[in-house]
Amino acid sequence: MSNDRETMHIGELAERTGLSLRTLRHYDEIGLVAASGRTEGGFRLYTHDDYERLMLIRRMKPLGYSLEEMIELLDVIAGVTAAESDADARLDGFVQSATERREKLRSQLEMADEFIALLNARR
């Protein structure tokens, strides 16, 4: 997209984000990411902001965040923009949580590497 006002259909959004159409429709149904508009024919239209929101969600998925936690973080981020009083503290909590989850993934990756090395040593 060349500017923030342009829109894209769900198929283009799916291709750009690497998420399936089914996932995008589910996220829309539960209110995680709603289409910014619709065509006269009823097709969903998404903006660059919707794309950015989905990319944030996609980055949260490997860290094991639940849909509810994703919604909460997105609300916190919106609160930061709106100068919500406790948004900074809540955001700090998410930073700490994400850091801890990343460390857990790093540890799991190390164990997976050790496992692969053990298997290769048996060849």
Asked if residue 32 and residue 55 are part of one domain, the reply reads: yes
Domain count for the chain, please give it: 2
Q: Are residues 4 and 57 in the same domain?
A: yes
pTM of the model: 0.79
Tokens 């944030």, located at residue:
56
Question: Do residues 38 and 54 both lie within one domain?
Answer: yes
What is residue 83's three-state secondary structure? Answer: coil
Same domain, residue pair 95 and 119: yes
Does one domain contain both 6 and 59?
yes
**76 and 59, same domain (yes or no):** no
Tell whether 58 and 1 lie within a shared domain.
yes
Q: What is the pLDDT of residue 78?
A: 79
User: Nearest Cα to 35, choosing from 17, 53, 20?
Assistant: 53
Domain boundary among the residues 63, 80, 95 is at 63
Examine the domain organization and report whether 39 and 89 are in the same domain: no
Same domain, 30 and 86: no
Q: How far apart are CA 29 and CA 47, in angstroms?
A: 17
Quick one: 33 and 52 in the same domain? yes
pLDDT digits (tens, 9 = 90+) for 20-79: 999 999 999 998 998 999 989 988 999 999 999 999 999 999 999 999 999 999 988 877
72 and 122 fall within a common domain? yes
Which domain range does residue 14 map to?
A: 1-63
Contact 51, 1 (CB under 8 A): yes
**pLDDT tens, residue by residue, 73-116:** 998 887 765 555 677 888 999 999 999 999 999 999 999 999 99
Distance CA 123, CA 112 (A): 17
**Phi (first) and psi of residue 86, to 5 degrees:** -100, 15
Angle between helices 10-17 and 48-60 (to 10 degrees): 40
80 CB-side CA count, 13 A: 11
